[in-house]
Amino acid sequence: METGTLNGAPTLDYQAAEAAPSSRRITLVVVLSLLLVFIVGASLIIFRKFTSQRRNFPALDVTLTSVEASVKKV
């Protein structure tokens, strides 16, 4: 990491010290990608459950006239 001396004191190459090794970058990219996939998948599952509940129970705002109409059909 030392690249030379300045007034007799060793100097450090800060760019090399701050640069992450490629294996660490790859691991970070993989972990963040998996986290993104998990979040998107969970969001889709929640969204599908929410929409299926609304489809299964369309009469959440039942009015008296709609109940009377369904009774007359039977």
CB 26 within 8 A of CB 32: no
Q: Provide the pLDDT for residue 66.
A: 62
pLDDT in tens, 11-63: 665 555 555 578 888 899 999 999 999 999 999 999 888 777 655 555 555 55
